[in-house]
Structure 1
């Protein structure tokens, strides 16, 4: 509608500040979690990119001795919301019936145990 378009045009004026705030927040989180890099897989921007981060994905390294659910509880107990990466192991969804059981996606099973956002 015209009303939605008008609101959208006004929001676009704020877009650069939204992007900078996301980047600032990401930088702060990355710096704060850097001391735990031996236990967590922290996000890195792709080469030659400058993303506007929407979330902050971390994975618990399997050899860390940490439990993803315990880490999630700790974060949530400190008033930070979390989300799992996907709705479980995608390879178990029906669309993957033809390739399940192959070695093609062996890493996907780890995501269920290690990754949160």
Structure 2
């Protein structure tokens, strides 16, 4: 699939857009085409989906430790994908939700 570049490194260890705005996330997704790390659809800002819609990069992989699944936003279903460049997840000691210090005490009320 031309939507997956196994050589593209992740953009960082957290949601690039949340980091830029000082926000927080629940879970992370990594664009399989360019490596952009965004927050999941349960997160307040849903940056991974926004990235997919804005760029046409339709496939993401979970960026959570121990998870390796791919999701195709166009098909709305799980997809197959080639192994991506390391690292394949955020650091195991990074809290969920995260990052530490930016998650409000009432974070569960902000989820979708």
Q: Normalising by structure 1, report the TM-score.
A: 0.23
From the two aligned structures, give the one with the greater helix fraction. Answer: 1
In our comparison, the structure showing a higher alpha carbon Rg is 1
From the two aligned structures, give the one with the greater strand fraction. Answer: 2
- Higher relative contact order by CA 8 Å / sep ≥ 6: 1 or 2? 2
